[in-house]
Structure 1
Amino acid sequence: MQDFARASALNGFDTLTAEYGLSYTELLRDVGLPENILDNLQGFVSYRAFLEVLQLGASRSGDPLFGLTLGLRQGVSIFGPILYLLNNARTVGDALRELEQYFHLHMGAARVEISRYGDRMQLVYRVLDPTQPGLSQGAELALGVGSKLLQTLMGDNWTPHPMLLEHAPQAPLQAYRNLLGVSPQFDSDTTALLLKPEELDFPLSQADPVLHQLIRQHLDNMQRLTDLELPGYVSNLLRDLLPQGRVTVDQVAECMAMSRRTLQRRLNDSGTTFQTVLNETRQKMAQRYLRDSHLQVTQLSDLLGYSDLSAFSRAFTRWFGVPPSRWADVRSSASKV
């Protein structure tokens, strides 16, 4: 499964947790996410860890609608460059169809689909792995964001839209009405926002065809990185993923919405391999942390995604000729010569 989301999916998490008297860094740390993940909202987080931290926030705050509240506050800001594309589409329907096409750039673990639902249209949020815990918090966050998106696109034409949720209510219905203006329909067969078919034809006042085309080209280029750019992009992706556990070529390929074979072929065309990029990224990260931090070697081994300390020590000795425990002393001696 493509188990990733952009860190922007947690935008505002620090502010909301502070209102409940909670430490957001403690919550992130407790689910295994880097404490500075919010410093780079275009980075990546594990979707499983994303759900875990939402669930933990709901539990420790005592607010069962924690995810929904966060989603409503985030609104469209989480979409980054995709938002500019949507705002410059011709109609609401065009914007939602482009969200469907490019949503995987924001979140690989879920899909957004626009389709018919009886006499209505539905904007569906579908998680690729429905077995993960915490899906209710993630689904309500998504509907909060979706509601704000429709409000942004439709402007004066917007009214609260019917919503479907696959889970049972997590709070009294009045609490949902207070936040959303409507009570969702629970225990449904899907998670979605419902629209009238004619609403898809509403024109967007901000539409700029030229700007729309430029942004579309930019997003297409994000999906078709040049061979020269690809190793650097993979290295940046590895820096985000390694602290969350061991990283495989399959996981990276899924994050980039391409097959393993395609990623390996394109890296070969650029004159390198996945293993080479992985080793070089780990080397640079190891040097930087040993130079600029007070991390223990065991912590560094975990941060670089190694299964155990001995595997890291062997790799480090192969790279630099000395074990990590001696690297600082050897470097200090060399600087005095």
Structure 2
Amino acid sequence: MTSTVRGTALLGFSEFASSRGVDPDWALAEARLPANPLPGQLSGLQFNALIELCAARANDPLFGLRFGLCQGPQGLGPLLYAMRGTANLGEALKLLTRYFHVHSDGAHVRLERQSGSALLLYDVTDGDLASVRQTVELAMGVAAHLLHDLLGHAWKPRALMLRHHAAADRGAYRALLGVLPRFDSPVNAWVFDESLLATPLGPTDARCQQLVQQHIDELARITLQELPSYVQKLLRGRLANGQVTLQQVAEYLMISPRTLQRYLLAQGTGFQELLDKTRQATAVRYLRDSSISLTQLAGLLGYSDLSAFSRAFHRWNGMSPQQWKRRLQSPDGQQK
């Protein structure tokens, strides 16, 4: 189930790529993207490949992060205007979490409050992407720019949490972000003082806000064909909190479990199949990008213990996760 990204996600790409020594026309052609990608929808797989390709060509492991910080939230289009028209930061971020799938249906954004802190969390939900380090850091760069735009000097993050390990010298991250990320974390998230959510964003144009909201609502309607990928997005976002059931997802969608299963079967899949695929893709991504233990990984995928995860992994890949990891790390053992 290939995800899509709005073409506006590449606003300013050509200028930025050139500034990093990468020919943008060459890069777009290599990723099989149109020379002018802005007007349409892009394949999430090709978008991710483009950023990875540019990072390698520029010999810059922080290419994605730099691009996100440079581009900022302009690529969000009408969603950005709607956010700026809300009463305070909390309302703006609530709008972002509700409608982010309009911008990209291969990622999930949510807002949580924990012990006086607010967490703006981001996760790539497209299971076809094997490694998402560049894309995640790009998104966190965009989020940092957005929060600074909305709050000004009041934006003082407590932490940046990233699931993967550092791709470059940690000092380079601090120089760009003003904070040293916490790598190998259970989530990707900006963490900041919860009180900032009440920060007012200034006067709004009520009529303009209404028009923008209507436009987003029209874009946000989920079709039956899109339901399987949306369920996978929910699964990926909830797995870290423990086992996810058909009943829980159905309740979130406000339909019965039987109805949800029937809708999924009509699209040639089922809940257990989607759960299995989501776990498999997430396991491979963690083994590639993170250095957390296999026991931790089993817990993040909702398995009761390591042995249950190992059996499932062997069923998917014909080998244990330990063997898969060793083969990945060997000079001639790159996984496909």
Q: TM-score, normalized by length of structure 2?
A: 0.64
Q: Indicate how the Cα distance of structure 1 residues 65 and 31 shifts in structure 2: closer, same or farther if over 3 A, else same.
A: same
Report the alpha carbon displacement of residue 166 of structure 1 after superposing the two structures with TM.
0.3
Structure label with greater radius of gyration: 1
Q: CA RMSD in A?
A: 2.9
Q: Indicate how the Cα distance of structure 1 residues 252 and 160 shifts in structure 2: closer, same or farther if over 3 A, else same.
A: closer
* Equivalence for 1:73: 70
Report the alpha carbon displacement of residue 85 of structure 1 after superposing the two structures with TM.
0.5
Maintained 8 Å contact 2:83/2:96 = yes
Q: Aligned match of 1:190 in 187, 190, 201?
A: 187
Are 1:158 and 2:155 counterparts? yes
Are 1:36 and 2:33 counterparts? no
Distance in 1 of aligned mates of 2:221 and 2:100: 16
* Equivalence for 2:18: 18
Distance in 2 of aligned mates of 1:25 and 1:74: 18
Are 1:86 and 2:97 counterparts? no
Report the alpha carbon displacement of residue 12 of structure 1 after superposing the two structures with TM.
1.8
> What secondary structure sits across from 1:159 in the alignment?
coil
Q: Indicate how the Cα distance of structure 1 residues 160 and 224 shifts in structure 2: closer, same or farther if over 3 A, else same.
A: closer
* Equivalence for 2:43: 46
Distance in 2 of aligned mates of 1:109 and 1:222: 15
Maintained 8 Å contact 1:124/1:192 = yes
* Equivalence for 1:105: 102
Correspondence list, 1:122-137, <5 A:
122-130=119-127, 132-137=129-134
Distance in 2 of aligned mates of 1:65 and 1:46: 22
Correspondence list, 1:241-280, <5 A:
250=225
Maintained 8 Å contact 1:89/1:208 = no
Gaps of 5+ in 2: 234-252, 254-259, 267-336
> What secondary structure sits across from 1:220 in the alignment?
helix
Q: TM-score, normalized by length of structure 1?
A: 0.64
Runs of 4+, deviation exceeding 2 Å: 116-119, 206-214, 221-225, 249-255, 257-262
Aligned residue pairs, count: 237
Distance in 2 of aligned mates of 1:75 and 1:206: 22
> What secondary structure sits across from 2:112 in the alignment?
strand
Distance in 1 of aligned mates of 2:7 and 2:104: 9
Greater mean deviation of Cα atoms: 54-63 or 156-165: 156-165
* Equivalence for 1:147: 144
Maintained 8 Å contact 2:157/2:190 = no
